[in-house]
Amino acid sequence: MKKLICTALVLLLAICPVAMAEEAGALDYSFTFATTDLDGNIVTSAEIYAGNKITMINFWATWCPPCVGELAELAGVHTQLQEAGCGVVGILMDSYDPGAIETAKALMAQNGTNYPVLALSEDLYPLAQVINLIPTTVFVDSSGTLVGTPIVGALVDQYVPAVKALLEP
């Protein structure tokens, strides 16, 4: 039942018209949250954003082949961007699905995931609504304000240039 609800939520997010950043003034939206990591530890947005000029947030699900396919590359992006002041975090969209967290942990281990992955929580719903499909990657500044343009799809080659453009004065 939970899998059905989670799938319906993801599909609803995919078909709902979502205003893009420039249309909705998303640059004025700041996202704060408390959720858990995949081990059940409480994590806050302040902890995630602290020390980062930009935080790259990748929304994914265990049942999404493109999402899983980019995990290893995202680990490389994370390593590369850390030095530039960018953090990477994943949001597991199907974390409410029984077994999804265990599946995600196994996939992350197989792919060398070296960045935090968080469970979807009610606090994250407003941030999750800026996406149309998964995988989608968004960028926030150190206060959690949405910046730049979301990247829809497993387009790993676009992440580093997008972050570098956001870090330029």
Q: What is the extent of the structural domain holding 159?
A: 26-167
- Whole-structure pTM value: 0.81
- Is the pLDDT score of 91 beyond 50? yes
Q: How far apart are CA 144 and CA 126, in angstroms?
A: 12
Token pair belonging to 61: 């699900």
Is residue 58 domain-resident?
A: yes
Give the count of domains, the chain: 1
Contact indicator for 130, 26 with CB cutoff of 8 Å: yes
**CATH code of residue 58:** 3.40.30.10
- pLDDT tier, 55 (very low <50, low <70, confident <90, very high otherwise): very high
Q: Which carries the bigger pLDDT value, residue 128 or residue 147?
A: 147
Is residue 42 domain-resident?
A: yes
Question: What rounded mean pLDDT belongs to the chain?
Answer: 83
The arithmetic mean of pLDDT across residues 2-22, rounded, is 36
pLDDT tens track for 33-53 = 899 999 999 999 999 999 899
Is residue 5 domain-resident?
A: no
Is residue 79 domain-resident?
A: yes
Is residue 46 domain-resident?
A: yes
Is residue 129 domain-resident?
A: yes
Is residue 123 domain-resident?
A: yes
Token pair belonging to 122: 């009610």
E strand map for 61-145: 86-92, 117-119, 136-141
